[in-house]
Amino acid sequence: MTDTTTNPATFTIGGDLTVHRLGFGSMQLTGPGVWGPPKDHDEAIRVLRRSVELGVDFIDTADSYGPYVAEDLIAEALHPYTDGLVIATKAGLTRTGPNKWPPVGRPEYLRQEALMSLRRLKLERIDLFQLHRIDEKVPLEDQVGELKKLQDEGVIRHIGLSEVTVEQLQEAQKIAEIVSVQNLYNLAKRDAEPLLEHSEANGIAFIPWFPLATGGLAKEGGKLDQLAKKHSATPSQLALAWLLHRSPVMLPIPGTSSVAHLEDNMKAAEIELSADEVQELEQAV
């Protein structure tokens, strides 16, 4: 377990992109089922702008959020971008309707989506481009190999993967340098522990999606509620603080469509946990 006294505020992705470890995930800016426009467009714009005001310099998105809605909102709200803002996007999942995510990893499709994301986000180069899912119908070397070609051409800067095993990561590393992984991980769901440990040992960024279990960990009266009161904090803040203290390579990306919830989440970076408190949290959930 990471000692709180050595818990850094920043992490450097790929050796040259230094970001604050508490970022922002854009998936919840879209409509129900991650489909269509937000219920409140103006609030979505305010959330993005406020996140940067609060010090967020790592924003995670994907072409499939909407689809395309989240990327368009980011460009509308934040372009021209402030220096040092890192926008990571993904491709490899298509959308056929709300909550439907068929994987497509054909090289020509990944190339098309990378170029479209570049245009939608109004970027000269995508700092971190992640394969959203490995398509089992397409050889891994073709999928990661196409991203390597895009990297060599200057379209993308760094390559990441999402929802992979240690073995899949190691296979991909034979094709291209992989600087990040993005797997389901939170205080209540820790199946990706082996991947996290491998990432920490190799200096790879670990980006947990659903860091708050889509709000499940933040419910009033839930298992974290009593512990949170000891810190004069909310359950969501405590769940995020635990992630930040779990590993120095952890980059949580809590998402929300509300400025109030955003401001609440960002206070998690101020919470310090002792080793005993970390153990208490892990045993409680």
Which pLDDT belongs to residue 216? 60
* Residue with the two structure tokens 């499709």: 109
Amino acid identity of 151?
Answer: Q
Q: Locate the domains of the chain by residue range.
A: 9-211+250-255
Which whole-number Å values give the CA distances from 180 to 17, 129, 142, in the listed order? 12, 10, 19
* Confidence at residue 219, expressed as pLDDT on a 0 to 100 scale: 66
The dihedrals phi and psi of 277, each to the nearest 5 degrees, come to -70, -40
List, by residue number, the catalytic residues. Answer: 65
pLDDT, tens digit only, all 285 positions of the chain: 333 334 689 999 999 999 999 999 999 999 999 999 999 999 999 999 999 999 999 999 999 999 999 999 999 999 999 999 999 999 999 999 999 999 999 999 999 999 999 999 999 999 999 999 999 999 999 999 999 999 999 999 999 999 999 999 999 999 999 999 999 999 989 999 999 999 999 999 999 999 987 556 666 776 687 788 888 888 889 999 999 999 999 999 999 999 999 999 999 999 988 888 888 888 877
Instruction: Return the pLDDT at 115.
Output: 98
Residues 6 or more apart whose CB falls under 8 angstroms from that of 242 comprise: 187, 273, 278, 281, 282
Q: 73, 45 in Cβ contact below 8 A?
A: yes
Instruction: Tell me what pLDDT residue 213 has.
Output: 76
| DSSP for 132-189, written as a single string | SS--TTS-HHHHHHHHHHHHHTTSEEEEEEES--HHHHHHHHTTS-EEEEE-B-BTTB
Name the CATH superfamily housing domain 9-211+250-255.
Answer: NADP-dependent oxidoreductase domain (3.20.20.100)
What backbone phi and psi angles, to 5 degrees, belong to 274?
Answer: -80, 165
Question: What pTM was estimated for this model as a whole?
Answer: 0.94
Chain centroid to CA 172: how far? 20
pLDDT at residue 4, rounded to an integer:
36
pLDDT value, residue 215: 57
pLDDT at 222: 65
Residue whose C-alpha is closest to residue 208's, from 195, 218, 222: 195
- Per the CB < 8 A criterion, the answer to whether 211 and 186 are in contact is yes
Q: Is 185 left (phi over 0), alpha (psi -120 to 50) or beta?
A: beta
- The pLDDT value recorded for residue 212 is 84
CA distances for 86 relative to 3, 97, 198, 261, angstroms = 27, 29, 24, 22
Q: Give the residue from 47, 126, 133, 29 showing the smallest Cα distance to 87.
A: 126
